[in-house]
Amino acid sequence: MDYFSRRQTLCRSAALVCAGATGLPLAARGQSRPSDPESEAMAALVGGTMLPVSPWSRFRIEGGSGFVLDRSLRNFALLKQDGEAEVWALRGTFGARGDEVLRNDVGEIMLRLTEFGGATFYGRGDTIGRAAAPVEGGEPIARPTSSMGSLQATVEYALEWFDRYDPGNVRVEAQAGLPPGLVLDTFRNASLAMQRMPAGWFNRADRRVRRLRIQTGQRPMVILQGGSLGIAITPGLSYAGRPSSAVVQNVLRNQMT
């Protein structure tokens, strides 16, 4: 059974609880940090402040805002920039100098970390990068959730993001049993990708997306065929189990000419 949304046709709703929606517990607020002789010695050596090691940390970008880097999950890091809706799941590799390079799921470098805690933030489409430094105040990034509760209600909510491109003709669907939070986050990424396309891109009939469907898959994947955008997700991998907006945008660009 599938859950889908088109105002004229509604499936029966089902009460589902989003799996994996909880983050890691935070330390008690106001509690003083213990002294760390090794960190203090390293700070004296490099001439900066070394913050205690944590699974998550906050960085301030030079001349800009900031971001949170959450490393509480295995095999990938989460990054969320201030003021942005998307959470990026990044894979890390180490360079010859010991720097760690974190890339998104289309291979773009988004962050470079040095062994002394310094960072260069690239974001999307930035090949030069901006310096970033760790600061106090980092908190874990919340796992995908949906305030709508049921999967059906979540799908109905997501329809509003896509109906504007072809009013009355867009269908939004999700396979039954999927976590509503991850489904909502996946549809949000698809919506962000469509918003970033050139103005008027979807005005042509052969470029219109009339159906969006999310279903389970062995790995995240996006396929566009005949106006139908199919997205495969792997719920057990949290944010790394769904495609980023960059993947969706690349598919729109490459398959719709």
Residues 170 and 161 sit within 8 Å (Cβ to Cβ): no
Per residue in 177-216, pLDDT (tens digit) is 999 999 999 999 999 999 999 999 999 999 999 999 999 9
Structure tokens at 199: 């103005």
Is the Cβ–Cβ distance between 182 and 240 less than 8 Å?
Answer: no
User: Token pair of 66, please?
Assistant: 């900031």
Domain regions of the chain by residue span:
2-8+143-255, 53-135
Averaged pLDDT of the chain:
82
Once rounded to an integer, what is the mean pLDDT over residues 22-40?
A: 39
Task: Check residue 53 and give its pLDDT.
Answer: 56
Label residue 16 by pLDDT band (50, 70, 90).
very low
First to last CA, the chain: 34
What does the pLDDT read at residue 34? 45
Percent of residues, the chain, with pLDDT higher than 90: 66
Contact in structure between 155 and 178 (CB atoms under 8 Å): no
Secondary structure letter of residue 238 according to DSSP = G
Q: Tell me what pLDDT residue 9 has.
A: 38
- Whether the CB-CB separation of 21 and 32 falls below 8 Å is answered with no
